[in-house]
Structure 1
Amino acid sequence: MSEADAPAAPSVRQLVLLAIPALLIGVGSALMLWLLDRAAEVVEGWIWDDVPAWFGASSSTPWWIFTVLTLTGAAVGLVVQFVPGHAGVDSATTELAATAPKLIVVPGLLLAVLLSLAGGVSLGPENPIIAVNAAIAVSALARVAGRIPQPLIVMLASAATIGALFGTPVAAALVLTGMVAAIKMGGALWDKLFLPLVAAGTGALTMHLLGAPTIAFTLPSMGTIEPIDVLTGTLVAAVGAGVGILAAWLLPMVHRAFHALRHPILFTTLGGAVLGVLGMIGGPLTLFKGLDQTGELLSDPDAYPPEQLALFLVVKVAALLVAASAGFRGGRIFPAVFIAVSLGLLAAALVPGMPMSLAVATATLGVILAATRDGWIAIFLAVALVGDVVVLPLLCVLVLPTWLLVTKAPELVVKPRTGA
């Protein structure tokens, strides 16, 4: 498309007027995420703290872990099979930002993700809550849909939710830059990012005002970058990418195995039972979406010997594959972050002299790059997790060879089978 054929850039007046629904979508999306998180916390406390005490058990009692996850699988299966809308599409088949589902899907999808979050399933809320917020935003703005295109509403809801999830509009800007760059429209890039950033910034600010935790931690600074850091960082990033690629390669096979049972009540119950066994093996730290558990790992990394970190890594990869394949509704980024941190701490323990912040950052770069195929979000999460900007220039270099490893590898999403 030539410059003459491109649509005119939006005017300042149009951007200001459209900023109003963007602000509303930002606040509403953040509130919906906050309410989901708070509801999940209440149910989680009841399931994992109050009820087991009635039986002389606790949240770390193996038989209780198995029981809760099995029953969670059965409950999610009932929702998927019988609730109107069937909790939307299978999360394993969706990207982070997808199309808006019909409004009838929203109650069942919220119930399914609430059960998964509270029940300890190794999935995050990101994919479902983005879909829910997009559906609500499209429905709420239906009367003015002629003036606000539906794809723009979906983009604003996605941006707002991503900003709320990560506590900063920067994450949404980085994720959406690639999407926006692919759209052949008139105007500067920042004209296109203006409204998504309004929504994302509002969503992030709303979550901060509500006191929600952020995905930001602090590890000891690695200090001056040495030549050996390039070598060890490349190695750890490659191993992280390899872990992500292996998970992506296994996901369709595990997904087909569970869905061969055909009925959601069967494969989610079986999935819950398998997750229960994995939880018994890995312990409570390998349950749930992984953000709080990542904080526990990073708050006292020396408390976990290498063999325990390796166990966490293997169990969480398996739990993510099972949870994503067995019909549960949830996202894969937060569990992938826990996997990356476990790998990074393991690398720091095994590679002599490797700074912990470098190990965690490069492991995160590799795992998240393989899981999301987005170099920006991989770099952002790597820096946010370690809280050390010294690693940033090194990550900007290491992302290039790591990208070559993942660019032709399978994605961590189940694609429809062709030629059947």
Structure 2
Amino acid sequence: MTTTPPEPAAEAEAPLSDEQRAVRTRGYVGVLLLSAGVGIPVSLVAFGFLALLHAAEHGVWETLPESFGYDVAPWWWALPWLLVGGVLVGVAIRWLPGHGGHVPIDGLGLAPVPARFVPGILLAALAGLPLGAVLGPEAPLLALGSAFALIFVRPVAALDDPAAKALITVAGASAALSAIFGNPLIAAVFVLEAAGLAGPKLARVVLPSLLASGVGFLVFTGMGAWTGLEISSLSLPPVEGPERLDLADVLWAIPVAVVIAFAVRQVQHLGRWTKARAVARPLEYAVAAALVVGLCAAAYALLTGRSPEDVALSGQGLLEPLASDPAAWSVPVLIALIVLKSIGYGVSLGALRGGAIFPAVLLGAAAGVLVSGLPGFGALPAMAAGMAAATASVLPFPVASAVLVVLLLGPNATAMAPVVLVAVVVAFVSEQIIAPQRAQRAGRTV
């Protein structure tokens, strides 16, 4: 007589974690649906904001000089426009709710933005950025995405739960940022790393962010074709580069990243010095900072014979000519560009309003072109290393910095990825070493 062996007892299912239970709840599914819905109107607002910035910048720096008979803006062109911009930004900081948005030297802000802050943020951004502030549009865009996400959701859902409110805020910020970086993944990575998320909580927050970014990017890519309006995003043209790196490219990236990290720290020190004095007198320092930028732009134009626009503005429009023909930029011109734009960038970080990423990318690219004459250091690897080191030093979000620069490189991304990663790591570590040492020296002198 044969006996059937007893079947093995079914393995007990592992208990669900708090995050797993949260994702399966009806409330979380509702947040995902709201995130997808928010991506559409927030992207429309962001597209309008960027189209307006682009039109204003094009009019001030190209159309108007041509109407006065200038092939390029004359050396003094930046001064009156920046004076006007400084006054208007100072008014927004001094008298409007929200102080025109957060101070750029403080990094990216992800806190929910009340609707009453929107007028001040818009005034500071539209008055400062197209008129010459050495800052990018990503910070006000992030704030507008956060504010309008909550505005659009309010009639549909109360969002009494602070966690749900925070998720919608992140989703709105991601949707707004997706086009300015030219890729929805970059926006999601920046927002998530800025929020300091890790572990199981990352999965819960990343889904609304990715969903809103993807939907928002679809709207962005369609709006230009439907409306005929243009926006400016951070991008590089297709650039011919080596199929693979040489050892010298990787080795040179190490000291270059250290030097760039140290230089960026000096620019940030100027920004913090300016911010400390602008707190008590925001209008006066906004005007003063704008005039410093104007003087730097004028000095650059007089020294080089080029447009003062190179030193003013965020620098995103200068990436294409710099990357397309690096040999056309002489060493004296590159040195003048880096030094004078860095000064304008530093005072803008402390007294004006905007984002810190775009000028850092441009300055890193210019520094890369400058050092590309080193033995065995190619122009494209040098630019990649410079952009990666500068971005990681300014934010510093190492993962987002690496993703941003790699995707900027387009067809050359795979070949250039090693030098980008080396530069990001070296710059990030150098920044972490420099900062505590400077703080200790400052403490001893007090």
Distance 1:180 1:43 in 2: 32
Structure 2 letter corresponding to 1:11: R
Residue matched to 2:179: 164
Q: 2:406 aligns with which of 359, 379, 383?
A: 383
Change (3 A) 1:393 1:49: closer
Bigger Cα displacement from structure 2, 154-163 vs 309-318:
154-163
State yes or no: 1:335 paired with 2:359.
Answer: yes
Unaligned runs of 5+ in 1: 412-416
Residue matched to 2:135: 123
3-state secondary structure, aligned to 1:225: coil
State yes or no: 1:35 paired with 2:35.
Answer: no
State yes or no: 1:11 paired with 2:24.
Answer: yes
Q: 1:265 aligns with which of 258, 261, 283?
A: 283
3-state secondary structure, aligned to 2:23: coil
Change (3 A) 1:79 1:56: farther
Residue matched to 1:414: none
Residue matched to 2:160: 146
Query: Whose radius of gyration is greater, 1 or 2?
Result: 2
Change (3 A) 1:228 1:297: closer
Report the CA distance between 1:223 and its aligned residue. Answer: 2.5
Residue matched to 1:311: 336
**What fraction of aligned residue pairs are identical, expressed as a percent?**
24
What's the CA shift string for 1:201-247, capped at 9, x where partnerless? 12222222223454332322223332222211212222222222222
Structure 2 letter corresponding to 1:251: G
Report the CA distance between 1:6 and its aligned residue. Answer: 3.2
Report the CA distance between 1:251 and its aligned residue. Answer: 2.0
Residue matched to 2:108: 96
Aligned residues of 2:82 and 2:290 also touching (Cα < 8 A): yes
State yes or no: 1:361 paired with 2:384.
Answer: yes
Report the CA distance between 1:57 and its aligned residue. Answer: 5.3
* Aligned length in residues: 406
Unaligned runs of 5+ in 2: 1-14, 225-230, 301-307, 437-441
Report the CA distance between 1:176 and its aligned residue. Answer: 4.3
What is the TM-score normalised by the length of structure 2?
0.82
Aligned residues of 1:244 and 1:368 also touching (Cα < 8 A): no
Residue matched to 2:190: 175
Distance 1:132 1:246 in 2: 30
Structure 1 letter corresponding to 2:291: A
Residue matched to 2:228: none
Bigger Cα displacement from structure 2, 145-154 vs 191-200:
145-154
Report the CA distance between 1:355 and its aligned residue. Answer: 1.4
Structure 2 letter corresponding to 1:156: A
Which residues of 2 match residues 199-210 of structure 1 at below 5 A?
199-210=212-223
State yes or no: 1:231 paired with 2:245.
Answer: no
Distance 1:322 1:146 in 2: 40
Residue matched to 1:276: 294
Aligned residues of 1:286 and 1:293 also touching (Cα < 8 A): no
Structure 2 letter corresponding to 1:316: K
Residue matched to 1:288: 313
Distance 1:226 1:122 in 2: 35
What's the CA shift string for 1:168-214, capped at 9, x where partnerless? 1221343245467735656xx54542221001112222222223454
Aligned residues of 1:23 and 1:199 also touching (Cα < 8 A): yes
Structure 2 letter corresponding to 1:167: G
Bigger Cα displacement from structure 2, 12-21 vs 147-156:
12-21
Structure 2 letter corresponding to 1:78: V
Change (3 A) 1:106 1:346: same
Structure 2 letter corresponding to 1:404: V
Distance 1:108 1:180 in 2: 24
What's the CA shift string for 1:42-99, capped at 9, x where partnerless? 3334433454567655652122221211221122222333345442443433x32421
Aligned residues of 2:115 and 2:151 also touching (Cα < 8 A): yes
CA RMSD, 1 decimal: 2.9
Distance 1:156 1:256 in 2: 32
